[in-house]
Amino acid sequence: SRADIGVVGLGVMGRNLAANIQDKGFGVVGFDADATQRGRAAADGLVAAASMEVLVVGLRGPRAVLLLVPAGPAVDAAIATLRPLLAAGDIIVDGGNSHYPDTIRRGRELAAAGLGFVGLGVSGGEEGARHGPALMAGGDAAAWGRLEPLLTAIAARFDGQPCCGHVGADGAGHFVKMAHNGIEYGQMQLIAEACLLLRHAAGLDWPAAGTAVAGWNAGEDASYLLAITGDILATRDGQSGRPLLELTADRTGHKGTGVWTVEAALGLGVPVPTMAAAVWARALSATRDQGAVDGAYAAPAAPLAAGDIGVALAAASLVAYAEGLDLIAAGAAHHGWRTDRAAVAELWRAGCIIRSATLDRIAAALRAEPGNQSFLDRRWTRGQLADALPAWRRVLAAGADIGVPLPAFAAAFHHAAGRAAPEVGARVVAAQRDRFGAHGFARIDRGGTHHAAWDGK
């Protein structure tokens, strides 16, 4: 009998997703241009076709082919090979981390040939792919209808609800995945800064910092990133017995999705300072001169309470979620996607890298208080952040005191503070613009746009 879906690209993600699909009772046939990858897939019990032609012939109609190839030219190349082999009504699904404008373009090109196209955001890494990822689908309704039963079956579940959804037309799935990655960057950096504080401001060693992080993960803000960081801090080098992080180079790279998120936010005028700080922090780590670094931080006058760090971390992580949700709202409005932010928060509750207990409360808050305003301006969010402010201030002061850089903690703080502050200084900027460029300014006592000489008289 013919297979329900073809999987092109049998690397880590493709192979594991194919195995997951097969486990759920669907027929799968895979293909990879690399014979080694085909061999590995066959060893895992998958059917690997020798060519794209053979793969397509083995599919039931309307045919669906899921691509898991590196984002960029490889996706266009795979589509170019598949296109003449497919017929009207067939569907191509791109499950990679593609840039959403590419997805919009590809969808348009394929629609002209009568082919359906779905840009599918897939989160959860290797383990998620094998046992239950979070899936964010964008594309036309007919293509989604064909895929929904299969994608729902393989997705992670939260309280029985599949972490899989159609979040809008064309590029919406990849846009939502991109915003997910921006949140991922922000929260990873915040946790990294919290680790610096635990060690240098609270005076803990690596394993004790690991115990503190594991403790936070046992509380109401439990998250996947906290769980893995607790394990990471407790890990020792097999040979020397020293904490492995002590022997790990203090620099990191990236594949670009965080940069895309910040670029999209810049274009849409949505503030995402926490995400941006995380992207800059990675760039700084990769470019600073290791020969120019100082030996040690100043000792704190008094140790910072680990509890304060945990409270500030939870608040700053909430700001990162809010930035991502605001970006999704703005992207949806701009592109005409009907993306339900509460549904997105719900489908992030399991399977993906940013899954946490907090997301369940965020989703509930979004359902309880609908509206278009920033998630940071909602009553629920403001209450959460206000409660954390005293601890958050102590954390920032302690960092400044001993010289620990806290770019993400500070960016998140100033984002939240800027929304709730009595004044933000923008009236001075408005006046400066009007003075040198006659750009006009608004008055609070009259309507319309005004101009003044601002000449000191």
Q: Check residue 300 for interaction with ligand 6PG (CB under 6 A).
A: no
Candidate ranges 143-151, 160-168, 253-261, 393-401; the one touching ligand 6PG (CB under 6 A) = 253-261
Report d(CA 164, CA 153) in Å as an integer: 9
Q: Binding site annotation covers 433?
A: yes
Residue 254 interacts with ligand 6PG (CB under 6 A)? yes
User: By C-alpha distance, which of 315, 295, 313, 319 is closest to 200?
Assistant: 295
| Span interacting with ligand 6PG, options 24-32, 166-174, 234-242, 250-258, rule CB under 6 A | 250-258
Q: How many residues does the chain have?
A: 457
Q: Does the annotation place 282 within a ligand binding site?
A: yes
Closer residue to ligand 6PG in complex, CB, 97/374: 97
- For 174, counting Cβ atoms within 10 Å of its Cβ (0-12 exposed, 13-18 middle, 19+ buried), the class is buried
CB of 184 to ligand 6PG, least distance (A): 5
Residue tagged 């608040």 (tokens): 315
According to the annotation, is 255 in a ligand binding site?
A: yes
For tokens 């599919």, what's the residue? 59
Report how far residue 43's alpha carbon sits from residue 16's, in angstroms, rounded to the nearest whole number. Answer: 12
Known catalytic membership, residue 184: yes
Nearer Cβ to ligand 6PG (180/335):
180
Binding flags for ligand 6PG, 84-103, as an x/- string (CB under 6 A): -------------x------
335 marked ligand binding residue: no
Give backbone dihedrals phi and psi of 66, rounded to 5 degrees, phi first. -100, 120
Confirm whether residue 382 is marked as ligand binding: no
Catalytic one of 24, 109, 184, 346:
184
Q: Which helix (H) or strand (E) holds 74?
A: helix 73-82
Q: Angle at the Cα of 405 (from 402 to 407), degrees rounded to 5? A: 145
For ligand 6PG, the binding residue among 125, 203, 215, 300 (CB under 6 A) is 125
Work out how close the CB of 51 gets to ligand 6PG at its nearest, in angstroms, rounded to a whole number: 28
Closest CA to 404 of 112, 232, 199: 199
CB-based closest residue to ligand 6PG: 123
251 binds ligand 6PG (CB under 6 A): no
The contacts of residue 24 (CB under 8 Å, 6+ apart) are 150, 153, 154
Pick from 324, 349, 323, 312: nearest CA to 216: 312
**Residue 123 in the binding site for ligand 6PG (CB under 6 A):** yes
Residue span binding ligand 6PG (CB under 6 A) among the ranges 72-80, 106-114, 252-260, 431-439: 252-260
How far, CA to CA in Å, does 354 sit from each of 8, 222, 224, 319, 320?
27, 11, 7, 13, 10
Residue 306 and residue 198 in contact, taking contact as beta carbons nearer than 8 Å: yes
Least CB distance to ligand 6PG at residue 185 (A): 7
Give the residue from 263, 255, 262 showing the smallest Cα distance to 278.
262
Cis peptide, bond prior to residue 271, ω within 30 of zero: no
Identity of the residue, 254 or 361, whose beta carbon is nearer to ligand 6PG in the bound complex: 254
x/- site string to ligand 6PG, residues 138 to 177, per CB under 6 A? ----------------------------------------
Contact 358, 380 (CB under 8 A): no
Q: 89 or 125, CB closer to ligand 6PG?
A: 125
Judged by CB under 6 A, the stretch of 23-31, 38-46, 136-144, 254-262 that binds ligand 6PG is 254-262
7 lies in the binding site for ligand 6PG (CB under 6 A): no
Report residue 367: phi and psi, to 5°: -70, -40
Residue count, binding to ligand 6PG (CB under 6 A):
12
Nearer Cβ to ligand 6PG (16/358):
16
Which range of residues in 59-67, 80-88, 123-131, 138-146 is near ligand 6PG by CB under 6 A? 123-131
Backbone angles phi, psi at 439, to 5 degrees: -80, -10
The answer to the question of residue 356 lying near ligand 6PG (CB under 6 A) is: no
List 309, 353, 376, 395, residue binding ligand 6PG (CB under 6 A)? 353
User: Closer CB to ligand 6PG, residue 258 or residue 407?
Assistant: 258
* 3 state DSSP class of 276: helix
E strand intervals along 131-255: 134-139, 157-158, 161-162, 164-168
Contact 202, 218 (CB under 8 A): no
When asked if residue 187 is in the footprint of ligand 6PG (CB under 6 A), the reply is no
Of 76, 286, 280, 100, which Cα lies nearest the Cα of 180?
Answer: 100
Active site amino acids:
177, 184
Binding-site residue numbers for substrate are: 97, 123-125, 180-181, 185, 255, 282, 433, 439
Binding site for ligand 6PG (CB under 6 A): 97, 123-125, 181, 184, 254-255, 257-258, 352-353
